[in-house]
Chain A
Amino acid sequence: SQQGEEDPQALSIQEGENATMNCSYKTSINNLQWYRQNSGRGLVHLILIRSNEREKHSGRLRVTLDTSKKSSSLLITASRAADTASYFCASHASGGSYIPTFGRGTSLIVHP
């Protein structure tokens, strides 16, 4: 079953703008991860945030986690055309499961 749901489903912006994607999940988690998928390729892991963390940075990526609202956001700052891809969140439920549950993804298009 899908636990993570991303919002919006699609996002179109101009190069240089910031892109924000949101993810909601249903049960308590150990951690939440964000992945990127270029068209016709596999997923690539971007960043992991643990349940006891509120914010994490990696280069132009900033991830926040609000466990009280069961939601996370991924911010890409100063976007580039090369950031065009689909972005997925994957939540790992607490209780020892190592199987992640992926959302449906946000399709991001960055226009040059």
Chain B
Amino acid sequence: DGGITQSPKYLFRKEGQNVTLSCEQNLNHDAMYWYRQDPGQGLRLIYYSQIVNDFQKGDIAEGYSVSREKKESFPLTVTSAQKNPTAFYLCASSIYGQGSQPQHFGDGTRLSIL
């Protein structure tokens, strides 16, 4: 079955530590996205990528970094510069192109501060 896999499901970060959230898809989608979701809030876009080796900042990129070395993979690093990292992080993918395709989501990673 095709889909998006996020790991780990739960992650704890210590003060001053960088942590990396994994996102893998086997849907052959070109576009991938990272969102942050806080309680009672909608989704806020962190980074997105249309193609391998290219990515753009979203609305709240500060304190985060990404890479897109493979079409299937789009890991997100939450750096120590992100002072309020506790949130639910969602990865999504879609077919890239005009007309705006539906996004497919993973089941998220919940990040907490130790």
User: Which of A's residues lie within 8 Å of B, judged by CB?
Assistant: 1-2, 4, 9, 30-31, 33, 40-45, 48, 88, 90, 92, 96-100, 102-105
Contact = CB atoms under 8 A, between A and B. Distances in A.
B4 to A, nearest CB: 8
A33 B110 CA distance: 25
Contact of B42 (A30, A44, A92, A103): A103
B48 interface: yes
A70 B105 CA distance: 26
Given A40-B108, A42-B105, A43-B103, A102 B42 contact: yes
Given A1-B59, A42-B90, A88-B42, A98 B96 contact: yes
Given A2-B42, A41-B108, A43-B105, A98 B90 contact: no
Interface residues of B, number: 31
A37 to B, nearest CB: 8
- Chain A interface mostly helix, strand, loop or mixed? loop
B107 A41 contact: yes
7 residue pairs, one from A and one from B, having the closest CB atoms: A42-B105, A92-B100, A45-B102, A104-B42, A102-B43, A102-B42, A43-B105
Contacts, number: 62
A90 B44 CA distance: 12
Nearest to B106: A42
A80 to B, nearest CB: 22
B97 interface: yes
